[in-house]
Amino acid sequence: MDIIGTYRDIRKIWKTAKDAKELGKKIMEFIQRKPIPLADTEQDQAGVVARALHRLQKGVAPHIVIVGATAAGKTMLVNKLFGNPVAKVRRTPDTTDAVLRVEFPSGLVIYDTPGIISDEKLENFTRLFLGLEQMDAPDVERVESVPFKANPDAPLILLPEVECRRKAQIDMVLWVVDVSRVPTRPEINELRSFFIELYHEFGERIVVAGTHLDELNKVTVEEKNSLLRIWSSIFNKQMIPISSTTGENLKDLSLALFERLPGKISLAKMQESLNQVVKIDRISFVVTEVSQVLADIALMHGNEEEGIQVSLVVLFATIGNHYSVDEEIWVQLSGDALAIAEHVQEFGKSPFEVSREPEGFWETIRSWFSDKPFLAIITRYQPLGVEGLSHLVPKVYALIHQFERSDAGVLPDELVQQRVESEKEMFEPLMQDEKREKLADQINELFKSLFLLD
C-alpha cells in the first residue's frame, strides 16, 4: 500500500479546498476515483486472527509417563482413564525391565515404566528414562541404556541416555501408589526422596494417584484417614486417592491432569483421550483451558503487542469453540479480543521522564539562560501482571457465564476485579518467578470460586 502517495494526494486536496464542504466533496470524489486499499490495521488484525487459529490447531497430544511400584494398579488405572490399549501390552519375561510405549487414537502417548522402590535395577531403568540420577550403591547395578518398545508389535530396542528425550518426549508424570498398604519408614523415606527428585526435574507436571481406595473404605474411618495422611504427607499433600474399581475421585484425577499439562499441549486432545465416564464437565474444562492462556498473557510485557493480541484471540476463540457460537458472534469475539488487547497492553507500560540534552538551535540558546532541564518521555516495559489480570478476568468470567446460561446471577465486573486484586499476594510471587503452571493453577482456582465449582 502506497501510504505516502495517498497522504500526499489528500494533502493537496486539503490545501486547495475553499471550505469544509468542498473538502469533504473532493475527498469523496478522490476515494471513488482511487479506492484506498485495505488499511494496515485491518491487514494486521487478519494476520493476528490467522496466527491465533494456527495456534489453536497446532496443539499436540500429551505424552505421559506412568511410574509406580509393581502391583500398584498402573495398568488398571490407565485403562479406566483412557481405554483398553494398555491392556494389550503384556509384560513378558523379556520386557520386565522395558519401557512400553502405547499410542491412542487421539494421539495421546503413554509410557509404562518398570517398577520403582522394590527393585533397584528396574528403578535405575526408570530413572535413566526420566533423566534422573541413578541409584549409586555397591549392590545396585547401574545401567547404560533403557529397553524400549515403541509399540506393542515393535521389536525391543535399547535406548542410550542421549536418545531417551529424542525418541520419547515427556509432558507429564503420573505416579501411581497403592494407598491400601501401610508403608514402612524406610519406604516412606525412599518415596519422599524420589518425589523430590521428580519435582526438581518436572516441577508442577507431576500428578500422584493413590489407588485401591475401595479397599481402604473397608476399614474404619479413623484408620482410613490416618493412612491417607501418611501417604499424602509423602507427596507434599498433592496425592489424589482414587478407586479404579468403583471410579471414586477419577474425575478429580482427570481435572488434575488437565491443570498440570504444559501450555503447548492441546487440552482438547486430552479430553478426547479420556473415557466418557471420566471426562470433566464443560465449564471445568473451559476454565482450565482459559486459565492457562491468561497465565501466559499476565507474564507478557507491554511491548509484546502481537503476542497479547494473538493470545486474546485464542482465548476468545477457545471459549466460542466450546459453546459452538455462530460466525457472526465469532467475528464479534475476535474484534472484542483485539480491542481488549489494545487496552490491556497499557498495563505493561510505565512512561517516565528523563533529562536530555538540548536539541536544535533554539533549545541550545534557551539552555544558556535557564536551569530548567529538557525532558524526554521514556517507556519502561513490564509484565501485564495483576493489573492486566484484574482487567481480563471479569470479561472472561462474564462471557463464560453468558454462554453457560447459568441460573446463578452474574457477579458485577467490580466485584470480580476485587476478587482478583485480593489474590495479589498469591499471584505476584508466581509472576515474578515466572511460574506459569502454578499461576495457571491459581487462576483456575479463582474461576472455580467465581462459578462455585467443587
In-domain check, residue 269 = yes
How far is 109 from 63, CA to CA, in rounded Å? 5
In-domain check, residue 5 = no
Both 314 and 180 in one domain: the answer is: no
Both 256 and 395 in one domain: the answer is: no
Q: What are phi and psi of 134, to 5 degrees?
A: -75, 155
pLDDT, residue 419, reads 94
In-domain check, residue 376 = no
AA identity, residue 312: L
Per-residue pLDDT 10s for the chain (454 aa) are 343 454 445 445 545 655 544 544 554 455 445 544 434 444 454 555 545 444 555 567 889 999 988 777 888 888 888 876 554 555 565 566 788 888 887 788 889 888 787 777 788 888 999 998 887 777 777 888 888 988 878 888 998 888 887 888 899 999 999 999 999 999 999 999 999 999 999 988 999 999 999 999 999 999 999 999 999 999 988 899 999 889 899 888 888 888 887 766 766 777 777 776 666 677 888 888 899 899 999 999 999 988 898 888 888 877 887 776 665 676 677 677 888 888 899 999 888 777 877 888 777 777 777 778 877 778 889 999 999 999 999 999 999 998 887 667 889 999 999 999 999 999 999 999 998 888 998 999 999 999 887 5
Residue with cell 495398568: 75
Last residue of a domain, one of 249, 275, 301: 275
Going by C-alpha positions, the residue among 308, 310, 332, 330 that lies closest to residue 320 is 330
DSSP 156: P
Last residue of a domain, one of 250, 275, 300: 275
In-domain check, residue 207 = yes
In-domain check, residue 155 = yes
Q: What are phi and psi of 209, to 5 degrees?
A: -110, 125
In-domain check, residue 374 = no
Both 261 and 288 in one domain: the answer is: no
How many distinct structural domains can be found in the chain?
2
Both 303 and 389 in one domain: the answer is: yes
pLDDT, residue 37, reads 42
For residue 260, give the CATH number of its domain: 3.40.50.300
Both 300 and 268 in one domain: the answer is: no
pLDDT, residue 280, reads 67
In-domain check, residue 438 = yes
AA identity, residue 25: K
pLDDT, residue 84, reads 62
In-domain check, residue 42 = no
Identify the domain containing residue 172 by its residue range: 63-275
How far is 318 from 29, CA to CA, in rounded Å? 43
AA identity, residue 351: P
Both 308 and 441 in one domain: the answer is: yes
Going by C-alpha positions, the residue among 170, 173, 168 that lies closest to residue 256 is 173
pLDDT, residue 36, reads 41
Sheet of 109-112, strands arranged across? 157-160, 145-149, 99-103, 109-112, 63-68, 172-178, 206-211, 239-241
